[in-house]
Amino acid sequence: SQIQGTPSIPRKSRRRKSLAIAYEPGQGNGAEPPRVPWEPRDWREQLERIREMRRSRDAPVDEMGVQKCYDSSAPPQVMRYQVLLALMLSSQTKDQVTSAAMLRLRQRGLTVDSVLQMDEETLGQIIYPVGFWRNKVKYIKQTTAILKQKYGGDIPSTVEELVQLPGVGPKMAHLAMHIAWDSVAGIAVDTHVHRISNRLKWVKKETKNPEETRVALEEWLPRDLWKEINWLLVGFGQQTCLPVNPRCSQCLNQDICPAAKRL
């Protein structure tokens, strides 16, 4: 009650005031220094070396990933729908299989209306053998109907709305924002990004799933790297940092990777 706009602060309240602003720069009298945000050891050097290993851009994700599966000459609304469908098909499916399925769909004229007019059996025959193709047939039909009814045939422009669609998870939603809307709302984390982030100790403590990894990475990774990190680590995971028997002897990070099998 003694500091209501008075120019000089009474001596009694000074201690209380210093506690309230203990982390303000320039405070002396034993105030705690500002906390330094946590970041992984050697991460910048590790990232630069991964960039070097990915420089040729010749991993399956580069040549047949979702960003290569849509018709770039289609109207923007159709292009965005094709991006979303490619993402839905890509879950637990190799890029080569997703790319082939998308090509078959596009040969039929891949639009919201064409999919709505297609029966489930035909759709299943076209997308087979993508992983869990029977479930994906249902999800695609349900999501496409919602897009027609609620979004005028376009796809939502927020992560929150995208993850409400049947068969669309957080990774797909963030990639849809990146590719379809050219907007970075968060980091797209799939099994490769999840695995490699844990191997490199880019998370404070081990994470159990890709969504936990996304949250952990977004706490420290500079935002201007959020879009790049997915394609970097996915390709790196496809070519070098494999799920089983990683090729540590070929990895430039062998000497600074906590998980490296040093020969």
Q: Report DSSP letters for 40-93, one per residue.
A: -TTHHHHHHHHHHHTTT--SHHHHHSGGGTS-TTS-HHHHHHHHHHHHHHHTTS
Q: Do 213 and 197 contact (CB within 8 A), yes or no?
A: yes
171 catalytic, yes or no? Answer: yes
List b or e across 80-109, with b for residues whose CB sees 16 or more CB atoms inside 10 angstroms. bbbbbbbbbbbbebebebbbbbbeebbeee
Active-site choice (136, 171, 201, 205): 171
Strand, coil or helix: what is 169? coil
User: What residues are labeled active site?
Assistant: 171
